[in-house]
Amino acid sequence: MLLRIGACVRTTYDTGPYIVKSLSGPCTCASYLDHINGCDRPSKAHFHMEVADLSGRAGYYLNGYTLDGRSVWGNDRLIDASQLELFA
Ligand SMILES: [Zn+2]
């Protein structure tokens, strides 16, 4: 399992690394895109995270991931970035 409080992750769309500050879920809320298109069909179970960057700046969110870091809404994934810190 990748996601837990304190985990260091980055995304496959080149953001991060981020430290997980809070983790909520599982929930099945509709994806943002479905929601604005007026479709509230439930999603696969997923989690929402509040994350901070490595300088401690909080207020970033990663939404719609399973605990092994796969997006339920797309092809992106979260990658374990804890090794990166060793070389920072
Ligand atoms: Zn949700």
Percent of the chain at pLDDT > 70 equals 94
> What Å distances lie between residue 84 and 9, 29, 33, 59, 75, CA to CA?
10, 32, 32, 22, 23
Q: Can you give the pTM of this predicted structure?
A: 0.87
Domain boundaries, the chain: 8-85
Distance 34 CA to ligand 1 centre (A): 12
Q: What are the residues whose beta carbons fall under 8 Å from the beta carbon of 10, sequence distance 6 or more?
A: 16, 17, 18, 78, 79, 81, 84
Other beta carbons less than 10 A from residue 70's beta carbon:
16
pLDDT of residue 87: 54
* Distance from residue 3's CA to the centre of ligand 1 (Å): 15
Interval between CA 45 and ligand 1 midpoint (Å): 8
Low-confidence ranges of the chain (pLDDT < 70): 84-88
Predicted confidence at residue 86, as pLDDT, reads: 55
Cβ count within 10 A of residue 49: 24
Q: How far is the CA of 43 from the centre of ligand 1 (A)?
A: 8
pLDDT of residue 84: 61
